[in-house]
Chains A and B, each alone.
Chain A
Amino acid sequence: MLDKIGIVKPVAHQSNAAILEVTDLTVAYNGTRALDDVSFRLEAGERVAVVGPNGAGKSTLFKVIAGVLEPTEGEVRVAGCSPRGHICIAYVPQRTDVDWAFPVTVEDVVMMGRFAKLGLLRRPGREDRDLVRRCLETVDLTAFARRQISELSGGQQQRMFIARALAQEAQLMLMDEPLSGLDIPAQDRILEILDELRGSGVTVVVATHDLNQAADFFDRVLLLNHTLLGIGRPAEVFTAANLQHAYGGHLRLIKTPEGLMMVDDTCCGGGR
């Protein structure tokens, strides 16, 4: 009955289960398959880049893992259970999907991460406010706590969402193109923060367009174009055949003295 009206009791994590296990996952909208028979597993604390062209199903994959979309076939298990039983999955939206004029301050948004633990009807207390302050310190936004969210730069906006995921005490962080449209220093700052979080055992999954960045900063890469084309260390996955398969006409392969260079697709939604 509780489940019917949508009140969820968070399930305990099974210590022997992978943090994320995706099995034969298919998601279809009106008969078109956004994801087709995708299977993989992630271990706790990994940092994984999800790479693929626009419309490859990256956002769909994230939304199914977050438990926002239901799979058409197959299943997703987070720490051994359905994602809908968890409050430890943080989904960081693309910046273009956020209403930045919404009347909230930075600390208001980070505090939203506490609401699942608080439960219905309870108000945030001193401990919650302390935690929010620490989360803002971690991402270096203390000075911006009381700003309205539209006053932040793109990189700061992204860091605010990382702080919200920390306030949520997320074990699995799904970030939908957090680096798109940011300048290089802002991108580096975010990668640095993700590096600092490595110690806390949070699993971070990042959708990105930048193949070089994916190769340089992530433990493993997952190459997606509706079907799973490869998952593993960047050198194993980014083969000419795989990339050609994923990007087709969008990809330019350029021979240089140092070897084969690839230029990825022209797109980059989310810039501002």
Chain B
Amino acid sequence: MAGWLEVLVAPLRYAFMVRGILAAVMVGVVCALVGTYMVLRGMAFLGDALAHAILPGIAVGYIVSGGARQPIFWWAMGTGVVTALGIGAVAKSAHIKEDTAIGIIFSGMFALGIALISTMRSYAVDLAHFLFGDVLGVSPTDLWLTALVGGLVLATVLLFYKEFLVLSFDPVLAETLRLPAGVLHYLLLILIALTIVVSLQTVGVALMVAMLTTPAATGYLLTRRMGPMMAIAAVIGALSGVVGLYLSYYVAIASGAAIVLVCTAIFLVALVFSPRRGLLWGWLQGRAG
């Protein structure tokens, strides 16, 4: 008994672990809520693209500030919002297919980011942090920023819950109810960008899409209403953060990867065992029928 308690408490003796866990929980919750809309509207690729496209913003912030965290945060946020709006506009003017356009923009921006970072002396280490996160390097200031921006995203999602619900389920209804559909769409893109920016330090650019989509997709498998889907996704997102960090502490693997692996494992369990939507259920129904 005391042995198990020790297992749980030991990592918490380090302040950086406590900060890391707090950050991972906040990021897990915010990603899951915004991710719910992304999963329901089929925006996973867009989210992945947006995360990668933020890299040049991070790089510029890094270069102008000489490595200080806060300027990087604001530069990333600026780039994220501008790119989100840009992608929204590209999607509208359909000279080429939307996913092609997004693919071109995102890989171009990503390459620019890598090029900028490669001009620095500490190239390899920094790039790894930006790509895969550095949750154990979270400072108290980072934590506050995460809480502030994450809280803002959370409040907006809850405030416009019913509008985003209609927009996701039936865009034509949103128009006939005269909801400001265009404004809401761009608002959602901005929320996604902000969520990505606050999550950068936890999972990094390359693994971002997992935090946005995997918990939400798991919630989708486990429930039949959007409210509970969000709640389940948030719990899974937060839980993955905590379990992932313990895992990374004891097994000594990269923290971002550990968090994403836990998410993925929970998803796979739900995929097989979920009532109604799970594979096992379908198989049993098939045999019964």
Q: Which residues of A contact B166 (CB under 8 A)?
A: 112, 115
B223 and A87 contact, CB distance less than 8 A: no
Contacts A105-B225, A115-B162 given: A87-B177 contact, CB under 8 Å? Answer: yes
Which residue from B159, B176, B225, B228 sits with its C-beta under 8 Å from A90? B176
The listed residue with most A CB atoms (<10 A of its CB), out of B40, B163, B175, B229, is: B175
A6 and B181 contact, CB distance less than 8 A: yes
Bound-state Cα–Cα, A164 to B174, Å? 13
A8 and B175 contact, CB distance less than 8 A: no
Closest chain-A Cβ to B138's Cβ sits at a distance in Å of: 33
Interface size on A, residues (CB 8 A): 36
Identity of the chain B residue whose Cβ is nearest the Cβ of A7 in the assembled complex: B180
Closest chain-B Cβ to A176's Cβ sits at a distance in Å of: 10
Q: Which residues of B contact A93 (CB under 8 A)?
A: 170, 172
Closest chain-A Cβ to B92's Cβ sits at a distance in Å of: 14
Bound-state Cα–Cα, A87 to B175, Å? 9
A40-48, A60-68, A178-186, A196-204: which lies at the interface: A60-68
B178 and A63 contact, CB distance less than 8 A: no
Considering only residues 30-85 of chain A, those with a C-beta below 8 Å from chain B are 63, 66-68, 84
Chain B interface SS verdict (over half):
helix
Bound-state Cα–Cα, A123 to B183, Å? 20
Contacts A5-B183, A6-B183, A112-B165 given: A103-B224 contact, CB under 8 Å? Answer: yes
Q: How many A-B residue pairs have CB under 8 A?
A: 85
Bound-state Cα–Cα, A115 to B160, Å? 11
Bound-state Cα–Cα, A121 to B180, Å? 13
The digit string for A74-116, where 1 denotes a CB below 8 A from any CB of B, is 0000000000101101110100001100111100110011011
Considering only residues 1-39 of chain A, those with a C-beta below 8 Å from chain B are 5-8, 10
Identity of the chain B residue whose Cβ is nearest the Cβ of A83 in the assembled complex: B176
A67 and B159 contact, CB distance less than 8 A: no
Bound-state Cα–Cα, A8 to B172, Å? 16
B180 and A91 contact, CB distance less than 8 A: no
Which residue from B163, B173, B182, B220 sits with its C-beta under 8 Å from A120? B163
Q: Does any Cβ of A come within 8 Å of B272's Cβ?
A: no
- Residues of chain A whose beta carbon lies under 8 Å from any beta carbon of chain B: 5-8, 10, 63, 66-68, 84, 86-87, 89-91, 93, 98-99, 102-105, 108-109, 112-113, 115-116, 118, 120-121, 123-124, 148, 164, 168
